[in-house]
Amino acid sequence: MKPVAIFTHAAHEGPGFFATFLSEHSIPSVLFDTRNLASLPSSALDFSGIVLMGGPMSVNDDLPFIAPLLNLIQQAMAADIPLLGHCLGAQLMAKASGAQVSKNPLKEIGWAAVTVTDNEVARHWFAEIESFNAFHWHGETWDAPAGASHILASKHCHNQAYAMGKHLALQCHIEMTADMVRDWCEQGADELREASSSPAVQQADDMQVNLILHCFFLHKVARQLYGQWIKGLL
């Protein structure tokens, strides 16, 4: 099997539990840091799947990695190579598909419930799961691309996930580990202070209450979604 390509955009936003899942299933992977522009591959055809992690930047920023990554996503779509996007990754997928990415009415940070959409595509991905507590850290949202099915929503952000054939885009983070949550709370301390009055933002202490249990249940959801996604690998 060709390896799965994983793209990261910030030192503290790695693949987390997704890397664990791939290892458990003996699926090879290769990690690319988009901050190292010269290291980025030019062809999607070298990979069985492409995974895009999160980052603090916007897809609408004038950053050197945006254009080549959008091109790689479009190549994958044309070749039916499965794409999996987390947060910024989902926004990159939406933009590459011609959809708009814009500010969400509220910044959404911390643990919050998401509800699975009542349609056949959502059932395919989530099986019997109807709702769960997801981890969030974003200020933007996307419009679902033409032909995509909406499959997940939260109180403060309607577009939490969409699916399109083999491709899955998640605004929320299902890849989180306890160490990642703690790290993000440290890295984002200033952002949390600035957004402390928002009803959609949890503070660091609240995010870390029952953290191991939160991650345990999140990983059950992640196993379901990742398990469906790897079925499409070439």
Q: How far, in Å, CA of 90 to CA of 94, rounded?
A: 6
Q: Which pLDDT does position 5 carry in this prediction?
A: 98
Burial code of 103-138, b = ≥16 C-beta within 10 A, e = fewer?
A: ebebbbbbbbebebbeeebbeebbeebeebbbbbbb
Give pLDDT, residue 234.
Answer: 75
Residues near 12 by beta carbon (within 8 Å), at least 6 away in sequence: 180, 183, 184, 187
CATH number for position 193: 3.40.50.880
pLDDT above 70 as % of the chain: 100
Mean residue pLDDT across the chain? 97
pLDDT given at position 32? 98
Average pLDDT for residues 86-96, to the nearest whole number? 98
pLDDT given at position 38: 94
The verdict on pTM exceeding 0.75 is yes
Give the domain range for residue 97: 4-230
The number of distinct structural domains making up the chain is 1
- What letter represents residue 164's amino acid? M
> Would you say residue 102 has pLDDT above 90?
yes
